[in-house]
Amino acid sequence: MPRLAWISMVLGALLLVGAPVAWFMSEPEQTVGDIEAVTAPTSITGAVDSGTDTREPDVGTLPSSPTEEPQAAPEPEPEPVANPVGIGIDAIGVDAPVVDVALNDDGSMEIPEDITTVGWYELGVAPGSPNGTAVISGHVDSQEQGRGAFWDLRRLDVDDVVTVDHEDGSTSEWRVVARTAYPKEELPISDIFTRFGPPRLVLITCDGDFDRANRSYSDNVVVYTVPVDETIS
């Protein structure tokens, strides 16, 4: 099995683990917004994932007219986006530091031990990159530490705003366009952890029933956001 496919399978099962502190007094809707409208493509038209150059070789064919068309200057590479260092969500009272995370030895996504801190998946893209989905995840709660930074993530609604602070002092703003919950084994890994498609920021935490034997929740809450000035059609 390819390594990426193996990582995706394990991430779906082991993305986040938490421990219950208290149950919610009122249940928000499981899904808000249009999930289908924010589904990312698995590739960009013309992109070659394998690294193989599929262009036809140049065998010296003469131009069809005496004068060649002028060649447009190549577009400059976009400046790299500074890593995220903080996140704020006024609608649910979040003001949390963001740290870089990658993968554990078993292939699961790392989550900061301090539940007041959330993790940005540094093997993906940074929030604000021209293409692809940035992923920030965190614990919902902990038996020892109490409520996590993303305790109320399941209450975010369409048009709520997420602010990300970057290490160069800049900020980016993101608008919630959809929120839903998936059973962990059905988390759409290939759609969420992608470098393709328009820029998105996805926030993830735990939800659902708590399995005390496995110390794990049954579901993941996933919040999809886009840059504030982007219109979803």
Q: What pTM did the predictor assign? A: 0.75
At residue 114, the pLDDT reads 96
pLDDT digits (tens, 9 = 90+) for 171-210: 999 999 999 999 999 999 999 999 999 999 999 999 989 8
Mean pLDDT of the chain: 79
Q: Which structure tokens are listed for 62?
A: 């003469």
CA–CA distances in Å: residue 77 to residues 20, 74, 80, 130, 199: 46, 9, 9, 11, 16
DSSP state of 94: E
Is residue 173 within 8 A of residue 227, CB to CB? The reply is yes
Length of the chain measured in residues: 233
Give the bridge partners for 203, in sequence order. Answer: 136, 223
Q: Is 148 exposed, middle or buried (0-12, 13-18, 19+ CB in 10 A)?
A: buried
For residues 220 and 233, what is the distance between their CA atoms, to the nearest angstrom? Answer: 26
Q: Which residues of the chain have pLDDT under 50?
A: 1, 3-10, 12-14, 16-25, 43-66
For residues 123 and 104, what is the distance between their CA atoms, to the nearest angstrom? Answer: 12
pLDDT digits (tens, 9 = 90+) for 36-60: 777 765 543 333 333 333 333 333 3
Domains belonging to the chain, first-starting first, are 79-233 (2.40.260.10)
Site of tokens 């009122």: 26
At residue 178, the pLDDT reads 97
For residues 112 and 116, what is the distance between their CA atoms, to the nearest angstrom? Answer: 9
> CB within 8 A of 118, min separation 6: which ones?
87, 96, 97, 98, 99, 112, 136, 137, 138, 149, 150
At residue 107, the pLDDT reads 79
3-class SS of residue 109: strand
Alpha helices in the chain (DSSP H): 3-14, 189-192
